[in-house]
Structure 1
Amino acid sequence: MSVWHLAEAITCHAWNQDKSKVAICPNTNEIWIYSNCHAPDVAQWRKEAILTEHDMVVSGLDWSPVHDMIVSCSHDRSAFVWNYNPSERKWKPSLVVLRITRAAINVKWSPDGKKFAVGSSAKCVSVCYYQALDNWWISKMIKKHKSTVVDLDWHPNSQLLVTASTDMKCRVFGAYIADVDEAPDAGPFPAMAPFGEPMAEFDNANAWVNAAAWSTHGDRLAFAGHGSSIHFVHFGQPGEVPTLQSIRFPHLPLTRLLFLSNDAVVGCGYDFNLLLFTMDRNGYWSFSEFLDKKSATPPRLRLAAAASTACGSSGRVRCPAVNRRMQRRATRALCGRSTKPRSRACSRLRDRATARSPS
């Protein structure tokens, strides 16, 4: 594996269909597109374009799973759909009418590539589709949230949308649009609800809902809460009451979820690691393992590292005397000898006591 620092910070990124290109935002209003990403050495990647239509930081990127199009959204409350023109070798932006009054947070294409959804801090979701007559993308609004929509995901049928919001709820909405979609498909529900109406609502997180994701088959749902919890919803036959299982884990909260299969979910968050959750034969989910294996640190090095730091486990700064004491303990453990300093006054007193004592 090779590591290459493309930028000081990357706020979002998206791969194309065959993973030969990647689009990133370097924490600015720009979008950088790299090609030749199949090369094993990242130094061989080529920066083929820089897109600069946005006025503020780009907060969301997604590459269409069907067409060679990129959708981007930004804190400037705008979104663009980018099409590549081979003759001019340029990416051309198309205007998107979001109709939001606050920052756009995230964006996601539907699996069929006909629509995309934009979550925002305006407490709404803009579901956008193309209108060929006017050559722009128009939107229909979902306004049932009471706070920022921080994550969303499409059902495999492209007609259901799950959202995660900081109002502590995970919701499933009907997103069927007659002008775009074919026959309505309610998925695991008995009937399709009107556009923008909630078909299911879950408040089990008791905290901000940071992430939500559909399974590959569309019969399971997972969402993560800011209280270090993850929740799994299993939908049975249409009309049956879904079953829900909640897991609280002794790690930091998750911010993204992805179904690797119908029985495995990987999540990432503030632990700087990937957490794997799996389902057993009885249908129960549990934490499996960390996917990024850390090398074990020898105890002596751990003690030395603890002594050299100026902060304790509580986050409060230790006083210099405590730091010196910890450093002496660590050095004794490493070197096998005392390192306590001897002052001149102590040396003179010890010499006098030795001279007075009978030989």
Structure 2
Amino acid sequence: MAVGGDANLFQLAGGISCHAWNKDRSKLAMCPNSNEIWIYSGCHAADPTQWRKEAVLTEHDMLVSGLDWSPVHDQLVSCSHDRSAFVWKFEAAYRQWKPLLVLLRITRAATNVKWSPDGNKFAVSSGAKCVSVCYYQAAENWWVSKMIKKHKSTVTDLDWHPNSQLLVTSSTDLKCRVFSAHVSDVDGAADAGPFEALPPFGEPLAEFDNASAWVNAVAWSPKGDHLAFAGQGSSIHIVRFGAPGEFPTIQSIRFSHLPLMRIMFLSNSAIVGVGYDFNPLLFSQDANNFWSFSEFVDKKPTESAVKRNAGGFNAARSLFESKVTRGQSSDATQHDKNMLWMYV
């Protein structure tokens, strides 16, 4: 967390497994690599020392693996390796965060959670080879789920199409898939997005195996006409959809850096990815719709600057250890551990 320039850092915890911002970026929810969720308020302040830890949520029994704040309502959803999920809402009358029960129906750890853009549903990926698409039932005052079960291994990541009716998933079965996630109880008319027609809930619309490795991360573009997925083999693949009915085109980029664990479209022509390199990677699209690696986001000092600031046997040994133990050619980046989560 940078404050007042690249040189100043503020450490909220020893490690952060996941985090999420609320709609107006005034509050932050984060997991300090444990079963707890810390809620900070006053996050509009540029100096994190002015943020206030207003709550510690301890309903989960194991590591919290996913957090997401609704883009519409002031509700926070969390999931955990304990196979549970909760929807949290702040009750002003009690000045407390109250959890609401979610019926996930999974038998293995939850790996991630994402709200749909319209705020009516959220999806939870898991090690049970399935995805739970959850929606609220007012009569029972709980969140129920419908299951997508077409995967053959752990579902590592997921993302919603802007129309809130298509879901893209990544899995360790080496596949990226697009599913129908239309729930008639909460969604309006069916919207197939870039496809000709929308099949029943849970049916696949597309499947991609270009990664030839575990698929770690997926993302839709803001317009919904591109999706990207990143593989464990240090690759990223961008799918471009044309008019409904047209066969999509795929561009694969294989890079010499370490694998990405999370990716995100910053715009329709820019993707940022984070993972084991301690440094976010930026990919961009040119005027000819060609994607390529653009640059590292966290700028490193030039080689001459490094030599001026470090010398002798100890500096050489430190550099060698960085290469061997952390896969890093220079430790002059703001992160010194793997980056497994990001939020804009």
Report if TM-score (shorter chain) is over 0.5.
Answer: yes
Which residue does the alignment assign to 2:119?
113
Aligned residue pairs: how many? Answer: 315
Which residue does the alignment assign to 1:355?
none
Which residue does the alignment assign to 2:316?
306
Query: What residue ranges of structure 1 are gaps of 5+ in the alignment?
Result: 316-359
Paired with 1:264 and 1:110, the residues of 2 have a C-alpha distance of: 22
SS at the partner of 2:125? strand
Find out whether 1:235 has 2:241 as its counterpart. Answer: yes
2:243 corresponds to which letter in structure 1? Q
2:290 corresponds to which letter in structure 1? Y
Paired with 1:272 and 1:301, the residues of 2 have a C-alpha distance of: 20
Paired with 1:150 and 1:101, the residues of 2 have a C-alpha distance of: 15
SS at the partner of 2:316? helix
1:275 corresponds to which letter in structure 2? L
Deviation, structure 1 residue 175? 0.2
- Given the superposition, is the C-alpha separation of residues 299 and 124 from structure 1 closer, same or farther in structure 2, using an over 3 Å criterion? same
Within 5 Å, give how 1:88-103 maps onto structure 2: 88-103=94-109
Segments of 4+ moved more than 3 angstroms: 299-304, 307-315
Which residue does the alignment assign to 2:25?
19
**Residues 4-54 of structure 1 deviation map (CA, whole Å, 9 limit, x = unaligned):** 221111111110001100001111211110000111211111111111111
2:174 corresponds to which letter in structure 1? M
Which residue does the alignment assign to 1:126?
132
Within 5 Å, give how 1:218-257 maps onto structure 2: 218-257=224-263
Query: What residue ranges of structure 2 are gaps of 5+ in the alignment?
Result: 4-8, 326-344
Within 5 Å, give how 1:1-359 maps onto structure 2: 1-2=2-3, 3-296=9-302, 297-298=306-307, 301=310, 304=313, 305-307=315-317
Report the TM-score, using the length of structure 1 for normalisation: 0.85
- Given the superposition, is the C-alpha separation of residues 314 and 106 from structure 1 closer, same or farther in structure 2, using an over 3 Å criterion? closer
Paired with 1:126 and 1:255, the residues of 2 have a C-alpha distance of: 21
1:284 corresponds to which letter in structure 2? F
Which residue does the alignment assign to 2:330?
none
- Given the superposition, is the C-alpha separation of residues 50 and 245 from structure 1 closer, same or farther in structure 2, using an over 3 Å criterion? same
* Aligned residues: CA RMSD: 1.6
Give the stretch that moved more between structures: 33-42 or 200-209. Answer: 33-42
SS at the partner of 1:298? helix
1:229 corresponds to which letter in structure 2? S
